[in-house]
Amino acid sequence: MDARYDLAGRKAIVTGGAGGLGRGIAAGLRDAGATVELWDSDRVKLEAAAAELGVAARQVDITNAAAVDAAAAAAFTTHGRVDILVNNAGILGEVKPIWQTDPRNFEAVLRVNLFGTYLVSRALLGSMRMQNPRAAIGGHPLRGHVVNIASIQGKEGMALAAAYSASKAGVIALTKSTAKETARDGIVVTAITPAAAETAMAKEISAERRVDILSRIPMGRFVEVDEVARMVLWLASDECSFSTGGIFDLSGGRATY
């Protein structure tokens, strides 16, 4: 993938970095010049991803507040600052009607997708907003960017995916709230709402479910990982300086708002 933005000198963290989407985003940031650190709870997959990409890694359970706080402190000690945070970690959960779902599974999806995004944002934003600005645009400082990976399902909901849809809707609302809180501090917070991508998560669904999802996408295909990474690059760059709170569609025409 061609790097279209100059992120030289930027320090980036990508959660869910051991997965296919996390790897693709990390590769894009690395190729644009950023120093990237992957966060994931799966040590084996994390080490493999870090070795493949030639970037740093930190094993973190993002549902554990103490672990996230410790990882955030260590990241600032190691890098001195964090310019880019990509909250990408997520799990799919059960594909069942709500009356057949296991409450423990529903809670687990919310804990990773929404609560985990909250914990990581909480742990890093307090220090990000106090670090020296890298630029000033319109007389206002620009200290960093947060990009949350939500989902088109968070906008429209989807049958048999109540937990996943609800968690991603929560990420959208969390994005807007956080953006309002950090706007004057020079932290730009945005989210992407992609359709399904060809990742390990997509392989968890049945062939019938896959056909159903594809039928909802006017372009008739899943989003490519590189397409997600390219949008993250813009949202993580100083070119994105006045779109805080924005929710960016990447659904092949599926979105209706």
Does any domain span residue 236?
A: yes
Question: pLDDT class for 1, splitting at 50, 70, 90?
Answer: very low
Identify whether 171 is part of a domain. yes
Is the residue at 69 inside a domain? yes
Q: Residue 95 — very low, low, confident or very high, per pLDDT cuts 50/70/90?
A: very high
Cβ atoms of 46 and 17 within 8 Å: the answer is yes
**Residue 184's domain is classified under what CATH number?**
3.40.50.720
Residue 1 lies in a domain: no
pLDDT in tens, 44-64: 999 999 999 999 999 999 999
Catalytic residues: 164
Domain that holds residue 244: 11-250
Which residues, in sequence order, are bridge partners of residue 137?
140
Q: What confidence tier does 193 reach under pLDDT thresholds 50, 70, 90?
A: very high
What HEC string does 224-244 produce? CHHHHHHHHHHHCCCCCCCCC
Q: Which of 40-49, 63-72, 92-101, 209-218 has the lowest mean pLDDT?
A: 209-218
Overall number of domains in the chain: 1
